[in-house]
Amino acid sequence: MPHQAKLTQGSTLKHVVTMSFTSALGLMCMFLVDLVDMLFLSMLGEKEAVAAVGFAGTVMFFTISLSIAVSVAATALVAKAIGEGNVALAKRRAINVLAFGVLFSTAIVLILWPHIDELLSFIGATGRSLELASGYLRILILGMPAVMIGMIGSGIMRALGDARRAMYATLVGGIVNAILDPIFIFAFGMGVQGAALASLIARLSMVVVSYYGVVHIHKMLGKFVFFDFIKDIKPICKIALPAMLTSLSSPLANAIMMSHTATFGDDAVAAVAIIGRIIPVVFGGLFALSGAVGPILGQNYGARRFDRMHGAIYSAVIYAFVYCLILCFALYLMQDWLVCVFNATPRAADLIRFFATYVSFSFFFQSLLFIAIAVFNNLGKPFNSTLLNFGRATLGTWPLIFIFGFFMGAEGVLFGQAVGSVIFGCLGFYLARHYIADLEAKDAKSFSSDQSLGYEEIL
């Protein structure tokens, strides 16, 4: 299959919508795994089981964020090489990022495994909730290398502009999980551990699908050469490590939020856990923006098409606004149905309704931050993404949820986090827009200098 830089041609809005929509389906299916777990476990009538998945999900979000970060490196490096027309380099970078991801994810599992109970206790799990969360997490964390392979494979295919196949790995994982959940939870009577086992098998299915797309369809994995791997560790880490720190800021913000929410009781924790599972499914189209805009920026940066880079980020804003407008209105209308489906207690129901009514539209501003992260990760300044996201996770989370929580109770925790998203979303987009303008100015200056040198040589 020819490897053309097809994202350097055609409508940027069409590319943004196509890449975001397909990436969103994949991401939503991956997070739907956790939502399905919580939905079936809520049918057991044990609120500690729902809270347990919420606590364990906070840690799992951390591991998934690391996988997404490494996939960012795969997308950025492969997309830029394709934009430059260097297919051999793209294949080399693809195999080396994959090797890096497998080694790194295995090391993370080995590090986290002995400290699972301490991690869960740190974020507020106690008693029965701690026991259930620990059992759930000990099974599910074994699938981290599989998630890493699946995410990197999807990142490589997105870098090539194959948005449709990029979503297949996570899509199949979600379907497998939805089928196996009721079997393990109810038919085998395994409860929380059954949900974890079903999710683990679903994650393993991602490996098969992503391997088929990258290797058999696109033939994008080059031959592994140890010395090439050593050479590529530096460019991989230059993107992956700041992207990891950027990704870690989101679970850090969630951990801070969950820890503070725990002071309001198990009902509040259960509500936030339910909201935490609803958010990726409903707003997956926004979470996908960073991964969708990244390949478009990468290919056009390699081809020096700055006009299309500007067009891509403004197309992303239009897409995010329309998406948010529609989905927030739908969420507002569905709030009573969600309360009923998850068997929420009266106090938990109040928090779910508050989120759907007053907080949900803040995700438009968070999408501006996702766009900024895509700009910096793919255009050579990944550390800027780290600063922005950590700023949101710390200065934009803890002080605000503490202040608003003091005056508004558990509702203030949700509201405070929303205010932080508005502030840092606007700041991030402003900085990203000016960074692209600076790159364009430097490129024009460099081109002018090259032209002058060429003219002097002719004379």
Nearest to 448 by CA among 437, 440, 459: 440
**Given the structure tokens 């994650």, which residue do they identify?**
203
pTM: 0.71
Look at residue 129 in the predicted model and tell me its pLDDT: 84
In angstroms, rounded to a whole number, what is the distance separating the alpha carbons of residues 176 and 152? 20
Helices first, then strands: H and E counts in the chain: 18, 0
| Confidence category of residue 1, pLDDT binned at 50, 70, 90 | very low
| pLDDT tens per residue, range 157-206 | 888 878 778 778 778 887 888 888 889 988 888 888 888 898 889 888 88
- Cα separation of the two ends of the chain: 45
Q: How far are the Cα atoms of 230, 326, 327, 340, 373 from residue 331, in angstroms, in the given order?
A: 48, 9, 6, 14, 26
Is residue 455's pLDDT more than 50?
no
Is residue 42's pLDDT more than 70?
yes
In angstroms, rounded to a whole number, what is the distance separating the alpha carbons of residues 246 and 257? 17
Helix spans in 84-115 (H): 87-112
In angstroms, rounded to a whole number, what is the distance separating the alpha carbons of residues 343 and 339? 6
- In the chain, domain spans: 6-447
Look at residue 333 in the predicted model and tell me its pLDDT: 93
Tell me, what amino acid is at 425?
G
Look at residue 323 in the predicted model and tell me its pLDDT: 92
Look at residue 459 in the predicted model and tell me its pLDDT: 41
| pLDDT tens per residue, range 250-284 | 767 777 887 888 888 878 888 888 887 788 778 87
Look at residue 275 in the predicted model and tell me its pLDDT: 86
| Confidence category of residue 101, pLDDT binned at 50, 70, 90 | very high
Nearest to 343 by CA among 35, 21, 9, 39: 39
Nearest to 9 by CA among 68, 115, 83: 83
In angstroms, rounded to a whole number, what is the distance separating the alpha carbons of residues 416 and 396? 8
Look at residue 206 in the predicted model and tell me its pLDDT: 84
**Given the structure tokens 């507020």, which residue do they identify?**
124
Mean predicted lDDT score pLDDT of the chain: 83
| Confidence category of residue 34, pLDDT binned at 50, 70, 90 | low
Per-residue DSSP letter, 162: -
Average pLDDT over residues 348-360: 91
| Confidence category of residue 2, pLDDT binned at 50, 70, 90 | very low
In angstroms, rounded to a whole number, what is the distance separating the alpha carbons of residues 167 and 291? 12
Q: Is residue 241 a contact partner of residue 211, using CB atoms and an 8 Å limit?
A: no
Structure tokens at 112: 């986290």
Look at residue 31 in the predicted model and tell me its pLDDT: 64
Average pLDDT over residues 319-330: 93
Average pLDDT over residues 427-435: 93
Look at residue 386 in the predicted model and tell me its pLDDT: 84
Handedness of CA 274, 56, 171, 324 (dihedral sign): positive
Look at residue 251 in the predicted model and tell me its pLDDT: 66
Average pLDDT over residues 21-35: 68
Give the chain's length.
459
